[in-house]
Structure 1
Amino acid sequence: MCGIVGYIGKEDCINPLVAGLTSLEYRGYDSAGIAILNGDSLKVLKDEGKLSRLKDLLKKNELCSNIGIGHTRWATHGAPSKENAHPHTCCQDKIAVVHNGIIENHSVLREDLIKKGHKFSSETDTEIIAHLIEDFYEGDLKAAVSKAIGFLKGSFALVVMSSDNPKLIVTAKQDSPMVLGIGKNANLVASDIPALLGQTREMIIMDNGEMAVLGQDSYQIIDFDGNPVNKAIAHISWDQEAAEKGGFEDFMLKEIHEQPVAVRETLRGLIDDDGTVNLKELKIDSSRIKDINRVVIIACGTSYHAGLVGNSAIESWARIPVELDIASEFRYRNLLVDDKTLVIAITQSGETADTLAGLRSAKDKGAIVVAVTNVVGSSVTREADGLIYTHAGPEIGVAATKTFTSQIAALYVIALFIAQVKGRLTNEEIKKRSVKLWDIPELIKQALTQEENIKKIAQKYAKKPDFLFLGRGLGVPIALEGALKLKEISYIHAEGCAAGEMKHGPIALIDDDCPVVVVATNSATIDKVKANTEEVKARNAQIIAVVNEGNHIFDGVADDLLFVPEISDIFSPIINIIPLQLFAYYVAKAKGCNVDQPRNLAKSVTVE
């Protein structure tokens, strides 16, 4: 996944394609490529690395065409390489495809196509789309694409061109963004608005279940059943910078709002339709997991807080001891790990130096190592025995948001997988929890509807010098993460701790200038949390409480309430963090801080 651009018109397509891809560089990518019509055949140019390498190829080839498609790739299936870069073509090189999303059933489709004689040249899920379209092609590209997408399971925004149909581009959208650009003597398509602004400001936002057929002076939109769809053209007045942020003021806010999609994409392909957990991408034999007697999780920063949630889920469902370690401390101990120990290394970037060092120490002792990361081809992917990717997409803001919730989602799946392999939960119990996992993206959307209320509350407290965050049970990881988010981007001193530990020191900090944020949704501990809250209230603290909608237990105790939709306690952290991310964001904005690039911080910590 990453950036898509397509052009058909009267002018040369090279400049619009390159300009469009350049405008999408901010999203991050590992390779880039284009396909154009060169005479009667397709010409594909692509390479690993920066766009400058693609531009050099274009200079050497001196191509000119009025139709083409382009792509910048962020690897999801297959490592970053020239072979895995888009566009991908079919056996006869007559059909070219660029694609964002994840095809969950790509392995099955690949096997079927190989049996029919198709030959593949990459490891990607995208290449199967080109071959599938070829399999159905009988002279009508639109019809072939329509038939092919009926066999795709997962998310996709795809753009297709064919040397046999030189006067049209066909697109299709399901759960991955796509926008059409309506120009003068040209029509365009892209994954994001910024890619089109250099050519037109008249755009159509495609919805799920829609296809479009673009010609030089015409366009047609239909649904997947072939029925015409009438859509209004929108005039986009954003400037380039605003467009890169999707209309949001900052990347961080954009990424907070992307969490429903990020979590859903992480879950895709990991859980089958019948609720069974399917970790084929783990590439570790189930028998090895069945034999483990202990789990160790290592991580740093926000990933460590995700690990706290994973710790509880694994112990609750798989009934196996779990130890959580800060990665920078892990390798300095006299490690008690062996071939019956599963070590889970969590690193957003896949390059965190301390986590990599801990992973190596564990492997030296014979442990099985599984990495949870957001970056295909990163160092951790080459060193771990097995991998789970959080398909959150590029995260530009330094403070982790969507990668945090995606990590938690991945850890829930790992916990269910261990429980499934070890027989700790019945198939029905696994399915019940899997269904609840699929509910999470919609619940995150509901939590985001409280944004305006949270903004007002944040502005009220923005001048406070100190904050204390409290929680019990699964409220503790969120208290810690909430405090971390606030200090990272607003530079306000914030401390998170277990509410039961408050009287062992932190309560000494409490006065009327130190607000207390309480995570109070866990049904098993809510009465004790309320008692702790009343203790700090008696010492003049102002109280901000994260509570379930409809729960009035903190009425009259809390000064302000942050509401979240109700969900089972075990899943509550992934919902409860949403208002605290927004709270930290709006406090920082009220102070005039740079939320995307906080001082002294880096996105990837590559030194120990």
Structure 2
Amino acid sequence: MCGIVGYTGSDIAKNILVTGLKRMEYRGYDSSGVALEVGEGAAAHLDVIRRVGKVAGLESELSNIDSDATCGIGHTRWATHGKPSVVNAHPHTSCDGRIAIVHNGIIENFAELREELEGRGHHFKSETDTEVFAHLIEEAYAETHDLMASVREACTHVVGAYGLAAVCADEPGVIAVARKDSPIVVGVGETGSYVASDVIALIDATRDVVVLEDGQFAKLTPAGVEYTDEAGNVIEPKVTHIDWDLDMAEKGGYPDFMLKEIHEQPRVVRDTLVGRMTPAGELDIDELGLSLEELNDIDRVYVIACGTSYHAGLIAKNLIEGWARIPTEVEAASEFRYRNPIITPTTLVVAVSQSGETADTLAAIRDARIKGAKVFGITNVVGSPVARESDGVIYTKANKEIAVASTKSFIGQVVSLTLLALLLAQVKYRLTTKQARMLFRELSDTAEQIQWILDTQTEAVHEAALLCKDAQSALFVGRGMGAAISYEGALKLKEVSYLHAEAYAAGEMKHGPIALIDPGFPVIAVATKSATYDKTVSNLMECKARGAKVIVVATEGDEEINKIADCIIRVPAVRDVFSPITASVPLQLLAREVAILRGCDVDQPRNLAKSVTVE
């Protein structure tokens, strides 16, 4: 949610800012804007240009402005305080217009601060919490005449989360940056210094970036960057090298990012597994962070996550309990810290987050650590807050995911959680080396099985989508692993096609959901060959008897399902525990195809953001 970009150097700033903002469009936003340092000496001032809607509108406006400014900041906003409007868009300015700021996060005590500032004569122009920062910095600057020191002072008054960049007309070429609970990355390129909330905005300029920690500050100038702590002491930053390139973030000939990323899933499986098992048959997770003795002591697991990651957690519960025999609970991260879960030093909390910066998940991690739990992260972003705040981590190796609806990240999460379950089972001596090696080999085989689905099931997916496109609602059902996949399938359909969908364990059909079914109502079932297959088929026969259009994800070669299905999407036969990896792919394709038929933007669905960095 929201995006920050800033540049100071020798190149034209407006072009760099627009390019950076466009790179971050996938995160979700409703308005955008830039602040440029213009003029010199007594004529120095800030030009602030803001627009509601796509960055293309801002770009068009800037193309009509003849500006050679070489320093500026930009922002894409996702409304939290105040409606989407020009006046609420960033950057926000001080009373005198000499200071401009962009901010990600939420200021929890903004109402109190605003009242105090207004009492001291400050005039607010917007409804946002962010504007408080501009006035706090303005007050401090009147005393210090030092932008970096003023930003540091302003932060002492704020309760909440912030990633912040500020410029001042009286300090040309300087960008002051602060971070607390909201991602900020800084880099230095050949022509200047850069700041952004997402490394994708900097990738053209540099591959070596500094991910600011909470309580760290950065002063950017054309010559370089100085990093300081809360007391103003100079610190030595940790540099992270980015090993993916911009080509990985482009469409590569596909009509949209979502389809491209669905087709990248065989590679994600391979990359996530490469080097993970030794010739001796032992799991090798070099980022483990926990000793084998600590893992052997684990007697309870919580998987905490949001959205798609939560559904990956449901799959992990089955694997960890089934293989390692450790009691496992899956919780929405947004709820976890608001109750009093049983946590001891032998509790393992597994935090799953595609971006590694999900606010609710980070808050849950911190709460769990305070209570003494061990924490393990599953994320796609190296050096992300989840990775840094966990004892150990498995990276999903999905590379950059641009489409808002997660597809390849979900598969990467499921594969990574499967590795963790295998590791715990080995440590607990619940699986022999021979068994673990066999399961790892079958897990690796899912890469080819996904490719088979992508190569052969396009027509079946299209036929299924035609049965759904004009519906008002849809029902997803499955049992066991199929239930978890159904939850994810329903979410995907809602996200990208705006078609209402619900998912239930198929055995719950009689307890209410069957009342929804009337002639033509689409029921999408995961009914692969498993111990619960016959019962699932029985449930589908009830739906068929009531006139439902039955769409089934079924195992290749299953002829029995032909008797009740209106449309069948085939998947290869796999061990039941690996069915989520294969059976989820047809549901991703189906959601996208329905969305295309309904004229929806599959990469940037309305009201959604790729990275949810506020609670």
Q: TM-score, normalised by structure 2?
A: 0.63
Alignment of 1:180-579 (within 5 A): 192=247, 244-449=250-455, 450-579=457-586
- Structure 1's 52 and 424: CA in aligned 2 closer, same or farther, altered over 3 A? closer
- Structure 1's 191 and 398: CA in aligned 2 closer, same or farther, altered over 3 A? closer
Partners of 1:193 and 1:588 in 2: CA distance: 24
Structure 1 residue 325 displacement after superposition: 0.9
Partners of 1:604 and 1:49 in 2: CA distance: 13
- Structure 1's 284 and 341: CA in aligned 2 closer, same or farther, altered over 3 A? same
CA contact (8 A) 2:248 2:399 kept: no
Structure 1 residue 192 displacement after superposition: 3.6
Amino acid at match of 1:345: A
Partners of 1:355 and 1:50 in 2: CA distance: 20
Amino acid at match of 1:379: P
- 1:281 aligns to what SS in structure 2? coil
- Structure 1's 27 and 256: CA in aligned 2 closer, same or farther, altered over 3 A? farther
Amino acid at match of 1:308: L
RMSD after superposition: 3.2
Partners of 1:583 and 1:483 in 2: CA distance: 10
- Structure 1's 380 and 464: CA in aligned 2 closer, same or farther, altered over 3 A? same
Partners of 2:193 and 2:383 in 1: CA distance: 26
Structure 1 residue 281 displacement after superposition: 0.9
Amino acid at match of 1:411: L
- 1:418 aligns to what SS in structure 2? helix
Partners of 1:395 and 1:273 in 2: CA distance: 32
- Structure 1's 287 and 518: CA in aligned 2 closer, same or farther, altered over 3 A? same
CA contact (8 A) 2:313 2:330 kept: yes
Encode CA deviations 1:219-260: one digit per residue, 9 max, x unaligned.
xxxxxxxxxxxxxxxxxxxxxxxxx31111100110000111
Partners of 1:542 and 1:74 in 2: CA distance: 53
Structure 1 residue 519 displacement after superposition: 0.2
- Structure 1's 80 and 412: CA in aligned 2 closer, same or farther, altered over 3 A? farther
Structure 1 residue 553 displacement after superposition: 1.7
- 2:563 aligns to what SS in structure 1? coil
Partners of 1:340 and 1:51 in 2: CA distance: 37
Partners of 2:284 and 2:399 in 1: CA distance: 21
CA contact (8 A) 2:188 2:205 kept: no
Runs ≥4 in structure 1, deviation > 6 angstroms? 22-25, 48-52, 78-81, 121-126
Match in the other structure for 1:54:
189
- Structure 1's 383 and 521: CA in aligned 2 closer, same or farther, altered over 3 A? same
Encode CA deviations 1:466-500: one digit per residue, 9 max, x unaligned.
10000000001110000000010000010011001
Partners of 1:420 and 1:26 in 2: CA distance: 42
- Structure 1's 72 and 309: CA in aligned 2 closer, same or farther, altered over 3 A? farther
CA contact (8 A) 1:515 1:544 kept: yes
Match in the other structure for 1:604:
611
Partners of 1:80 and 1:455 in 2: CA distance: 46
- Structure 1's 72 and 566: CA in aligned 2 closer, same or farther, altered over 3 A? farther
Structure 1 residue 25 displacement after superposition: 8.2
CA contact (8 A) 2:187 2:208 kept: no
CA contact (8 A) 1:515 1:542 kept: yes
Alignment of 1:32-47 (within 5 A): none
Q: What is the total number of aligned residue pairs between the two structures?
A: 414
Structure 1 residue 274 displacement after superposition: 4.1
Partners of 1:564 and 1:266 in 2: CA distance: 22
CA contact (8 A) 1:465 1:513 kept: no
CA contact (8 A) 1:544 1:559 kept: yes
- 1:467 aligns to what SS in structure 2? strand
Match in the other structure for 1:151:
none
Amino acid at match of 1:297: V
Alignment of 1:93-132 (within 5 A): none
- Structure 1's 500 and 311: CA in aligned 2 closer, same or farther, altered over 3 A? same
Structure 1 residue 512 displacement after superposition: 1.6
- 1:555 aligns to what SS in structure 2? helix
- Structure 1's 517 and 58: CA in aligned 2 closer, same or farther, altered over 3 A? closer
Q: TM-score, normalised by structure 1?
A: 0.63
Partners of 1:571 and 1:80 in 2: CA distance: 38
Amino acid at match of 1:425: L
Partners of 1:441 and 1:568 in 2: CA distance: 14
Amino acid at match of 2:545: A
Amino acid at match of 1:249: P
- Structure 1's 280 and 531: CA in aligned 2 closer, same or farther, altered over 3 A? same
Partners of 1:255 and 1:509 in 2: CA distance: 33
- Structure 1's 325 and 548: CA in aligned 2 closer, same or farther, altered over 3 A? same
Partners of 2:607 and 2:208 in 1: CA distance: 27
Query: Which segment drifts farther, 532-541 or 458-467?
Result: 458-467
Structure 1 residue 26 displacement after superposition: 4.1
- Structure 1's 430 and 445: CA in aligned 2 closer, same or farther, altered over 3 A? same
- Structure 1's 193 and 342: CA in aligned 2 closer, same or farther, altered over 3 A? closer
Alignment of 1:57-206 (within 5 A): 57=192, 73=207, 192=247
CA contact (8 A) 2:208 2:239 kept: no
- Gaps of at least 5 residues in structure 1 are 1-13, 30-47, 60-68, 82-120, 127-155, 157-175, 177-189, 195-243
- 1:280 aligns to what SS in structure 2? coil
Structure 1 residue 540 displacement after superposition: 0.7
Does residue 1:590 correspond to 2:597, yes or no?
yes
Structure 1 residue 273 displacement after superposition: 3.9
Partners of 1:279 and 1:79 in 2: CA distance: 23
CA contact (8 A) 1:79 1:376 kept: no
Match in the other structure for 2:162:
none
- Structure 1's 125 and 560: CA in aligned 2 closer, same or farther, altered over 3 A? same
- Structure 1's 351 and 58: CA in aligned 2 closer, same or farther, altered over 3 A? closer
